[in-house]
A and B are shown apart, each in its own frame.
Chain A
Amino acid sequence: MRQRSIGGIVRPKGWHNVLMRGSLFLVLGLFCLYYLFPLIVMASTSLKSLAEIREGTLLSLPRAITFEAWGKAWDSACVGVRCDGLKPFMWNSVAMAVPAVLLSTTLGAINGYALTKWRFPGADWIFAMILFGAFIPFQVILLPMARTLGQLGLAGTVTGLILVHTVYGLAFTTLFFRNFFVGVSDGILQAAKVDGAGFFRIFFQIVLPMSIPAIVVTVIWQFTQIWNDFLFGVAFTIGDSNPVTVALNNVVNTSTGVKEYNVDMAAAIIAALPTMLVYVVAGAWFVRGLSAGAVKG
């Protein structure tokens, strides 16, 4: 985020100022604790044994660190009737997210490019109508989608989920690229047109190389959205084809046997790891995606 040039304004000095600075950092620090607290609890619980959880409290740190719960969450916890942990479902999520992200981003880029840089009559209307798809409550398409997937023979498959995420991700990706391309000077395109380049040549040789930032933002945003999705996963897949979010929920809400909180927490961290990793590595891009999501030009 941009830094200001107003840091140098001369301010009154004295105890009043020191007090203000002090309370500023106090409040900021307290909020850091507030946001970190669940993460700490989650991590510390996942490293405890079940016995220790029963004896200690939420905040007590693990006395004997054990990765048993992690191992169990990864490959032997029971999800429904199947007991090989989250591992197969992580692969489901990868197999779903990667193609869906690539497809929706590519199509969104072409769409945004055609709609902003080759404006034809009705382009604004088409954009507005596509954009609306980003805001509908997905409950309104669940029933017809289930039916359609059934007709296509894709019911309960990862391929079906890829289709769903691509179709409903398109509105967002088109929006992102449109917002980016609006800021790209038409002059460059006109120069390319004068040089005799056509629609696709301009796209691949000129526009695409310029759009790396937009592509990164879109890929990160789409990946986070698709990986974290639960509604489509739970509505359109069954058992073996569940994405990891659905599997996690099943692990946590299994009513049979002893409740293994440490396994739950380890499973939650495992399910969150890919998006957290993306966030830590590319946090700045993630923030740009968030603000772009605010329909700002």
Chain B
Amino acid sequence: MADTPSLRLRTERWLERRLPQIVVLPLFALSLFFVYGFIVWTAYISMTPSRIMPVYDFIGFSQYDRLWATPRWYVAIKNLFIFSSLFIAISMVIGILLAILLDQRVRAEGLIRTIYLYPMALSFIVTGTVWKWILNPGLGIERYMREMGFENFTFDWLVNSDYAIYTLVIAAVWQSSGYAMALFLAGLRSVDDEILKAAAVDGASPWKTYTSIVLPILRPVFLSTVIILAHLAIKSFDLVVALTGGGPGYATDMPATFMYAFAFQRSELGVAAASATMMLMTIIAIIVPYLYSELRKTGR
């Protein structure tokens, strides 16, 4: 009897051993359905003639032809490119600068950090609302400068089709540069104190210590910060809606707002699905290699 455990006991043991899988399985299934299933679903819709309601007749890639024949899509792509490169570059510069400055034994560091970072706690809608007010030509900075005596001062970017995209950069940098600062500061603080002491004994000036020793060590932090900011940029939807509404006209459209407009306002589900698929491709091209290398590093 002792050698052959009862069926009940064996079932219990099997259950105990399989419990982790049994717990993870439904959650994994959820993810499979809501992420991967939906991606496939959207990709399929992009190959159907769906307009106001989804239909499931396969028509190949003709929605993509339509997408790439839409001038508005090109504006969105171009805007995304301008916006994300400026946004990433400026946020990185400000982030590194502030992180290095805050690393100089500043007594009020905690308070200053809190001030630099609080915009991250705000919704992009709030950010958009307040910057819309500040950048409003009739009431905001332009008016203020004119009242100060600069009669010819003009700052009408918000309503100027050529410059409206830069107002998005201004607001987004304001909101996210503190984030870049926090990531860099955490990186700076992770550098071993003894390395900095060694640099001091070696006679390196603070400037040389940062440029020649600390910043090269932070290379992985640069990479992850760029990835995070790029990811924010590609997904940016709320800020555009709140600040410019995509306007004037569709001068500040981005892929995210383009997709939304075509799906819910213009009833072109097929084109909308095609643009969403294009967005996904872009993200995959950036994120997957990064995740792969990160997981390989931390994984066992």
User: Chain A: residues with CB nearer than 8 A to chain B?
Assistant: 1-2, 4-7, 9, 24-25, 27-28, 31-32, 34-39, 41-42, 45, 53, 57-59, 107, 110-111, 114-115, 118, 120, 123-124, 126-133, 135-145, 147, 167-168, 170-171, 174, 182, 198-200, 224, 227-231, 234-235, 245, 248-249, 252-253, 261, 264-265, 267-269, 271-272, 275-276, 278-280, 283, 286-287, 290-291, 293-297
Contacts and interface: CB of A to CB of B under 8 A. Distances in A.
A41 B130 contact: yes
Interface size class of chain B, counting residues whose CB lies under 8 Å from the partner chain: 35 or more
A143 B269 contact: yes
A231 B158 CA distance: 23
B156 interface: no
9 contacts: A1-B113, A28-B98, A42-B133, A118-B19, A133-B31, A171-B31, A252-B132, A271-B126, A286-B121
Given A261-B133, A264-B129, A275 B122 contact: yes
Given A9-B200, A286-B121, 4 more contacts: A143-B263, A145-B38, A171-B31, A182-B298
A6 B197 contact: yes
B20 A32 contact: no
A286 B34 CA distance: 28
B133 A271 contact: no
A60 to B, nearest CB: 9
Nearest to A276: B121
Contacts of A275: 121-123
B3 interface: no
A78 to B, nearest CB: 16
Contacts of B115: 32, 35-36
Nearest to B30: A167
A71 B127 CA distance: 21
Contacts of B96: none
B178 interface: yes
Contacts of A38: 119, 127, 130-131, 134, 174
A135 B294 CA distance: 14
A34 B174 contact: yes
Contacts, number: 287
Given A5-B193, A136-B280, A139-B275, A170 B30 contact: yes
B116 interface: yes
Nearest to B146: A57
Given A24-B106, A141-B38, A107 B130 contact: no
A35 B174 contact: yes
| Interface-centre pick from A27, A272, A276 (highest chain B CB count, 10 A) | A272
Contacts of B130: 38-39, 41-42, 265, 268
A120, A135, A200: most-surrounded residue (chain B CB, <10 A): A135
B43 to A, nearest CB: 8
Contact of B295 (A124, A137, A268): A124
B75 interface: no
B249 to A, nearest CB: 16
Nearest to A137: B279
A31 B116 contact: yes
